[in-house]
Chains A and B, each alone.
Chain A
């Protein structure tokens, strides 16, 4: 019962934000999400892949993203996620929260 679900807060919140942001650029499969996060951040952020899929499922349950199976160019079946209307709202929300957090943290760092 204690398997990781409890360690949600910051880490997971951040992961959600990143996933939502990547998906806002266009539908993507799980591997694509992971490699885009790594790619865009210049490998500074590396998603723990074991956590990525539970997070995707959770967001799916929450209705922020939806998934469907598609055939890729090299004829593989991939589960592709896209942002839903609720997901866009959530992204805006999280984005704003993140901005406020970094702003606040930045202010503290500047004055301390």
Chain B
């Protein structure tokens, strides 16, 4: 209780002393009255009362001493003193605050991103026990990016599992919903019925999925997210039971999932039941093996290693079929892998986030060094003040405490500014963040982030305040009250210079490391953009057309033929074609068939992405022909089936000799019946994704020769003479006229998805470049401050030099050399440091090594160029010093 009272009275000392004053006034007034009553005159009585009381000031101070909490009261005094000094030096204060705000703000923003994305538990019950599981068949090349278990493993494991207590399957994708009379594409997922419940989803309306939804013959049902329900049905509870067209199929809404629940991506809005293909013993049903994306929950007490060994045993106990080989490649006995869901979801962004975290940590260090330097130079300017205070009895501890109070206040204010800056930065980042950035919604400023900010600012206060505090302690011992010209104690200036030089070297080194990091990211981004994708995306317009389910391939052919002839006739279109697939589109069709030209060492099963394309497709995309020809009007149905392969297919399956002209009987053994396939052309590899290092084997057939030609949808591609964006509306209208029942979407230049696909490296690059530029700016300010101060301290020396015949250019060079030597030393240290650390970022680099010569050469040059700019002003000032300066008295 007492300390509470004292705390209150310390914090509100003004109110407390007003109270005391009133009490004293009452005391004196009452005594005056008493004296008057005993016969004194009023003035006399008052004089006597005041005399009797003694010194009110002294009493007030003693009362304050009794009431105040000792440490706090002193801090309050130091703080108010600090505020006064800050006010007297607005330039210094602003520079220091801006620097700290920048450093702390950037650090807090990145921390909240790292924490929200990588560290905060997923919003699911027992989230730490959720794991992704997948099979590997060692030696076999699995289809890129797909980590599956087979449906055989799934069922065998689900019925016997001991190390896991839940096994669910899901698939993320996109669905097109008919909203009003517009088609809207949105993120959707197929989930096995138990999965949503296990993830803690609750129905807001209706029900979740249940096992009845996945039996054969069950009607199509779907769940909507709460947001989508509000938008689409305006929150109408009668939405349950309504039928919506999903990908053209009538589907009944059976439930609305409450709140912000989202799985597997942050923007999933529609859930439909996932039916894991049943395995029967009926030979007529064919192979029946399929790939399943699976999620499990570890049973209480089990470990990941136990899950892996149990799963491996199960995976090895089920038969390996032809389709298994197609899924996983031909390899050894399967191994089952398990990894926590959190790290699985964020694996793609983790390296980039860690690089960002490291770069802002460097930026924070640089800001600390800069502010320490600023404080140091100010404490030199205040050396006499400290000396005077020491001389009149302030202890060393007292002076150090005063100096630390100042740095604590600076970093405290910087912390507040930093949190505000972080909030702004996160808002901006949310707008610029790459699409599909995992867990973006989990990034927020919360108690953990605030605690981190407080921690950072305490560390900052110590880092920033320590050097000047030690310096002051030194001054206090060597009490110096020297002449009035503002110069310092001889010798201390030299030591000072060294200390500040060391700080500058450190700052330059950090800046060089950041510049190199930024340089590496810029270089790899350029490399990424320079990658030969095998087609030319400029001036290509695409459109995706989906016919209602049940449409015949002939109907689709009709549509394609009409559309292409009308598009080709359009002004500004130079070529047009259609294909079942296209680059940058997330759907692929893969066929597996026995290797057409088996040879020892070559894989038994060939697996290739299979395109069905019309004439004009290759020309519109600008595919590059390596040999032979593209398809043309000759290639009709019947007769020999022409095939175009890409270089990778030729390399893998048709090694040696010419490829064009080779013929194969019954390429697809199961469906071909006496059909001869002839390779008529070889095209350059088309990369699905710029960072894809391994091109896939691909084959092209004329659409008319393929029974399944439009099963994956129709992608129209056209090459335009001018900017394709101008044609978007016309093309959309034309296609809609031809077939009003079709879903028409993604009418866009091909460069759009290409640009989106590099959003993540672009984002990381932009952030690191901004951080590096800030660090460069801070280094510039720091160097300028130190040199400007050094010049003002050495004016007399320059005067003497000038008197002894040094020319202006000599003086100029002297200062520039000083600055560059310091920076250069830092640059060398930075290069060494960078060589040590850049390999940690290799996961975020593309096409450049962590020791890329260009980045390593450019960074120090940029720093030195900046340093030269920082040197110029102080150097000019030094050069203007005349010989008369030497005579100026001190």
B2 and A49 contacting across the interface, CB-CB below 8 Å: no
List, sorted by A's number, 22 A–B pairs whose CB atoms are closer than 8 Å. Answer: A3-B58, A3-B65, A4-B62, A5-B65, A29-B26, A30-B26, A31-B26, A35-B34, A48-B54, A49-B53, A50-B54, A50-B55, A54-B62, A57-B63, A57-B66, A60-B5, A61-B5, A62-B2, A74-B33, A79-B22, A79-B23, A79-B26
B26 and A54 contacting across the interface, CB-CB below 8 Å: no
A61 and B27 contacting across the interface, CB-CB below 8 Å: no
Residue B59 at the A interface, CB < 8 A? Answer: yes
Per the bound structure, the CA–CA distance linking A84 and B63 in Å amounts to 21
Known: A50-B62, A53-B59. 5 other contacts (CB 8 A): A5-B62, A53-B63, A61-B67, A76-B26, A79-B26
Which residues of B, 381-413, contact A by the 8 Å Cβ criterion? none
Closest to A54 in B: B62
Per the bound structure, the CA–CA distance linking A74 and B62 in Å amounts to 30
Q: Name the residue in B5, B53, B61 with the highest tally of chain A Cβ atoms < 10 Å from its Cβ.
A: B53
Interface string of B56-99 (1 = CB under 8 A from A): 00110111011100000000000000000000000000000000
- Which 6 residue pairs are nearest across A and B when measured between Cβ atoms? A54-B62, A50-B54, A31-B27, A50-B59, A57-B66, A31-B30
Chain B residues with CB under 8 Å of A77's CB are 22, 26
Chain A residues with CB under 8 Å of B20's CB are 53
B63 and A54 contacting across the interface, CB-CB below 8 Å: yes
Our pick among A50, A61, A76 for the contact of B2 (Cβ within 8 Å) is A61
Interface string of A45-78 (1 = CB under 8 A from B): 0001111011001101111000000000010111
Chain B residues with CB under 8 Å of A76's CB are 26, 29-30
B52 and A3 contacting across the interface, CB-CB below 8 Å: no
Interface string of B16-42 (1 = CB under 8 A from A): 000110111011011101100000000
Residue B817 at the A interface, CB < 8 A? Answer: no
Minimum CB–CB distance from B571 to chain A (whole Å) comes to 92
Our pick among A49, A54, A74 for the contact of B65 (Cβ within 8 Å) is A54
Residue B1 at the A interface, CB < 8 A? Answer: yes
Minimum CB–CB distance from B796 to chain A (whole Å) comes to 42
Chain B residues with CB under 8 Å of A58's CB are 66
B26 and A78 contacting across the interface, CB-CB below 8 Å: yes
Q: Name the residue in A29, A35, A53, A63 with the highest tally of chain B Cβ atoms < 10 Å from its Cβ.
A: A53
Per the bound structure, the CA–CA distance linking A3 and B64 in Å amounts to 11
Chain B residues with CB under 8 Å of A31's CB are 26-27, 30-31
Chain A residues with CB under 8 Å of B19's CB are 79
Residue B6 at the A interface, CB < 8 A? Answer: yes
Chain A residues with CB under 8 Å of B24's CB are 53
Query: How many contacting A-B pairs (Cβ < 8 A)?
Result: 72
Q: Name the residue in B27, B58, B61, B67 with the highest tally of chain A Cβ atoms < 10 Å from its Cβ.
A: B27
Closest to B1 in A: A63
Minimum CB–CB distance from B739 to chain A (whole Å) comes to 89
How many residues on B have C-beta within 8 angstroms of the other chain's C-beta atoms? 28
Interface string of A15-44 (1 = CB under 8 A from B): 000000000000001110011000000000
Per the bound structure, the CA–CA distance linking A3 and B67 in Å amounts to 14
Minimum CB–CB distance from A61 to chain B (whole Å) comes to 5
Tell me the interface secondary structure of chain A in the complex. helix
Chain B residues with CB under 8 Å of A29's CB are 23, 26-27
Closest to A33 in B: B27
Chain A residues with CB under 8 Å of B67's CB are 57, 61
Minimum CB–CB distance from B882 to chain A (whole Å) comes to 52
Closest to A30 in B: B27
Chain B residues with CB under 8 Å of A49's CB are 27, 52-54, 59
Per the bound structure, the CA–CA distance linking A62 and B67 in Å amounts to 11
Per the bound structure, the CA–CA distance linking A62 and B5 in Å amounts to 11
Per the bound structure, the CA–CA distance linking A43 and B62 in Å amounts to 25
Chain B residues with CB under 8 Å of A5's CB are 62, 65-66
Residues of B within 8 A of A (CB): 1-2, 5-6, 19-20, 22-24, 26-27, 29-31, 33-34, 52-55, 58-59, 61-63, 65-67
Chain A residues with CB under 8 Å of B62's CB are 3-5, 50-51, 53-54
B65 and A53 contacting across the interface, CB-CB below 8 Å: no
Q: Name the residue in B5, B22, B26, B61 with the highest tally of chain A Cβ atoms < 10 Å from its Cβ.
A: B26
Per the bound structure, the CA–CA distance linking A35 and B33 in Å amounts to 13
Chain B residues with CB under 8 Å of A78's CB are 23, 26, 30
Per the bound structure, the CA–CA distance linking A60 and B1 in Å amounts to 11
Chain A residues with CB under 8 Å of B63's CB are 53-54, 57
Minimum CB–CB distance from A21 to chain B (whole Å) comes to 20
Per the bound structure, the CA–CA distance linking A77 and B22 in Å amounts to 8
Chain B residues with CB under 8 Å of A34's CB are 27
Minimum CB–CB distance from A28 to chain B (whole Å) comes to 12
Our pick among B6, B29, B58 for the contact of A50 (Cβ within 8 Å) is B58
B61 and A61 contacting across the interface, CB-CB below 8 Å: no
Chain A residues with CB under 8 Å of B30's CB are 31, 76, 78
Chain A residues with CB under 8 Å of B59's CB are 49-51, 53-54
Chain A residues with CB under 8 Å of B6's CB are 61
Our pick among A48, A61, A74 for the contact of B66 (Cβ within 8 Å) is A61
Closest to A79 in B: B23
Chain A residues with CB under 8 Å of B53's CB are 49-50
Per the bound structure, the CA–CA distance linking A49 and B27 in Å amounts to 10
Minimum CB–CB distance from A86 to chain B (whole Å) comes to 11
Closest to B30 in A: A31
Per the bound structure, the CA–CA distance linking A5 and B33 in Å amounts to 32
Minimum CB–CB distance from B32 to chain A (whole Å) comes to 11
Per the bound structure, the CA–CA distance linking A6 and B868 in Å amounts to 61
Per the bound structure, the CA–CA distance linking A60 and B470 in Å amounts to 41
Minimum CB–CB distance from B34 to chain A (whole Å) comes to 8
Per the bound structure, the CA–CA distance linking A30 and B53 in Å amounts to 12
Q: Name the residue in A34, A54, A60, A61 with the highest tally of chain B Cβ atoms < 10 Å from its Cβ.
A: A54
Closest to A60 in B: B5
Chain A residues with CB under 8 Å of B34's CB are 35
Chain B residues with CB under 8 Å of A61's CB are 2, 5-6, 66-67
Minimum CB–CB distance from B3 to chain A (whole Å) comes to 9
Closest to B34 in A: A35
Per the bound structure, the CA–CA distance linking A43 and B31 in Å amounts to 15
Chain A residues with CB under 8 Å of B22's CB are 77, 79
Per the bound structure, the CA–CA distance linking A86 and B55 in Å amounts to 31
Chain B residues with CB under 8 Å of A51's CB are 59, 62
Closest to B6 in A: A61
Per the bound structure, the CA–CA distance linking A104 and B29 in Å amounts to 42
Per the bound structure, the CA–CA distance linking A53 and B30 in Å amounts to 16
Chain B residues with CB under 8 Å of A35's CB are 31, 34
Minimum CB–CB distance from A33 to chain B (whole Å) comes to 10
Chain A residues with CB under 8 Å of B58's CB are 3, 50
Per the bound structure, the CA–CA distance linking A37 and B347 in Å amounts to 82
Our pick among B27, B52, B66 for the contact of A54 (Cβ within 8 Å) is B66
Per the bound structure, the CA–CA distance linking A24 and B435 in Å amounts to 78
Minimum CB–CB distance from B843 to chain A (whole Å) comes to 59
Per the bound structure, the CA–CA distance linking A63 and B219 in Å amounts to 78
Minimum CB–CB distance from B590 to chain A (whole Å) comes to 83
Closest to A59 in B: B66
Closest to B55 in A: A50
Which residues of A, 73-101, contact B by the 8 Å Cβ criterion? 74, 76-79
Per the bound structure, the CA–CA distance linking A53 and B65 in Å amounts to 12
Q: Name the residue in A35, A49, A51 with the highest tally of chain B Cβ atoms < 10 Å from its Cβ.
A: A49
Chain A residues with CB under 8 Å of B5's CB are 60-61
Per the bound structure, the CA–CA distance linking A29 and B29 in Å amounts to 13
Chain B residues with CB under 8 Å of A30's CB are 23, 26-27
Closest to A78 in B: B26
Chain A residues with CB under 8 Å of B23's CB are 29-30, 53, 78-79
Q: Name the residue in B6, B20, B31, B66 with the highest tally of chain A Cβ atoms < 10 Å from its Cβ.
A: B66
Per the bound structure, the CA–CA distance linking A5 and B34 in Å amounts to 31
Per the bound structure, the CA–CA distance linking A60 and B16 in Å amounts to 14
Minimum CB–CB distance from A46 to chain B (whole Å) comes to 9
Closest to B19 in A: A79
